[in-house]
């Protein structure tokens, strides 16, 4: 989209509206975006349905992730290795995976909070937002939470709030934090277990071993016949970034 719409502010507004939680708020913001950046909106409409790039219309559980940065960074690390033959590529992948697992294993073991540092940071900021909110009990674990004339309905049992932050992120919103104080519920019971430091440690607890020489492998392994994958062959030459030759440089 950056290349399609060069108008100032388009990317920033796109990133902002993609992260909106409520569908009606998204609809209003996207209409405004469409009026300001018609070309960009047309490109988005033609390319992807709303459930692919908006938080508000995504039918799946996204947690608090709205980027593919991690995939991109792995791709960037393997830019050269991708050109290698398959065995050498697998060897590079093992080295990369192993070094990342070691780094994150050491990092996660050193943490002594219930939640990962990033989520503890979100908790602190929402904790501050929750200060001064008025909480009224409605029903069993249901609360009306108000601040500056705005009201939100929190259900601590189903872990939902009308602001949608609690359910989509699986992290309590400021309203839920305020409600938990009145309900005397431990805040740490309201998070998804995936945000816990324990889950973080578990994710990197396995060892990624290198592949041994063939004669060092156990004798009882059955080697299945591995056929090449069925792929559709693309027409034309494969696109690849390449370094210009000396001759090409001298023509410039
Ligand atoms: Zn809320």
Each of the 252 residues of the chain gets a pLDDT tens digit; together they read 777 788 888 999 999 999 999 999 999 999 999 999 998 999 888 888 898 899 999 998 888 888 778 788 888 888 888 888 888 888 999 999 999 999 999 999 999 999 999 999 999 999 999 999 999 999 999 999 999 989 999 999 999 999 999 999 999 999 999 999 999 999 999 999 999 999 999 999 999 988 777 777 777 777 778 888 888 777 666 655 555 555 554 444
**Rounded Cα distance, 112 and 109, in Å:** 8
Q: Under a CB-based contact definition with an 8 Å cutoff, are residues 176 and 160 in contact?
A: no
Q: How far is the CA of 64 from the centre of ligand 1 (A)?
A: 15
Q: Compute and round to an integer the Cα radius of gyration of the chain.
A: 25
Q: How far is the CA of 19 from the centre of ligand 1 (A)?
A: 15
DSSP alpha helix (H) spans, the chain: 10-18, 23-36, 38-47, 50-53, 69-77, 86-109, 117-130, 165-169, 174-183, 197-203, 246-251
* Joined tokens for residue 22: 């409520």
pLDDT at position 237? 64
How many distinct helices (H) and strands (E) make up the chain? 11, 4
pLDDT at position 195? 94
Q: How far is the CA of 169 from the centre of ligand 1 (A)?
A: 11
Q: How far is the CA of 190 from the centre of ligand 1 (A)?
A: 13
Domain residue extents for the chain: 10-53, 63-210
Q: How far is the CA of 57 from the centre of ligand 1 (A)?
A: 18
SS3 145: strand
Q: How far is the CA of 79 from the centre of ligand 1 (A)?
A: 42
* Joined tokens for residue 161: 């709030």
Q: How far is the CA of 181 from the centre of ligand 1 (A)?
A: 14
Of 243, 246, 244, nearest to 83 by C-alpha is 243
Phi-psi group of 181: left, alpha or beta (phi > 0 → left; psi -120 to 50 → alpha; rest → beta): alpha
Q: How far is the CA of 123 from the centre of ligand 1 (A)?
A: 13
**Rounded Cα distance, 14 and 176, in Å:** 28
Q: How far is the CA of 177 from the centre of ligand 1 (A)?
A: 9
Residue with the two structure tokens 């000396």: 246
**Rounded Cα distance, 133 and 171, in Å:** 18
Q: How far is the CA of 198 from the centre of ligand 1 (A)?
A: 26
Q: How far is the CA of 139 from the centre of ligand 1 (A)?
A: 17
Q: How far is the CA of 120 from the centre of ligand 1 (A)?
A: 18
Q: Please give the C-alpha separations between residue 182 and each of 159, 188, 200, in angstroms, as whole numbers.
A: 15, 15, 30
């Amino acid at each position: 989209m950056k290349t399609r719409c060069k108008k100032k502010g388009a990317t920033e507004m796109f990133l902002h509206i993609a992260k909106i939680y409520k569908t009606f708020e998204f609809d209003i913001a996207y209409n405004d975006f469409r009026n300001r950046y018609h070309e960009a909106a047309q490109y988005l409409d033609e390319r992807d349905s709303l459930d692919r790039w908006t938080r508000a219309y995504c039918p799946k559980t996204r947690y608090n992730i709205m980027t593919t940065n991690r995939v991109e960074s792995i791709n960037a690390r393997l830019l050269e290795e991708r050109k290698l033959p398959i065995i050498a590529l697998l060897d590079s992948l093992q080295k990369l995976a192993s070094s990342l697992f070691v780094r994150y294993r050491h990092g996660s073991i050193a943490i002594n909070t219930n939640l990962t540092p990033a989520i503890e940071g979100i908790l602190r900021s929402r904790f501050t937002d929750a200060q001064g909110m008025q909480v009224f009990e409605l029903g069993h674990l249901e609360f009306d939470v108000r601040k500056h004339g705005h009201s939100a309905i929190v259900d601590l049992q189903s872990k939902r709030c009308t602001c949608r932050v609690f359910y989509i992120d699986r992290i309590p919103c400021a309203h839920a934090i305020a409600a938990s104080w009145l309900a005397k519920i431990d805040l740490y019971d309201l998070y998804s277990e995936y945000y816990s430091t324990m889950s973080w440690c578990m994710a990197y607890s396995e060892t990624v071993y290198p592949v041994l020489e063939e004669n060092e492998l156990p004798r009882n392994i059955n080697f299945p016949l591995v056929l090449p994958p069925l792929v559709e062959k693309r027409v034309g030459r494969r696109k690849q970034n390449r370094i210009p030759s000396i001759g090409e440089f001298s023509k410039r």
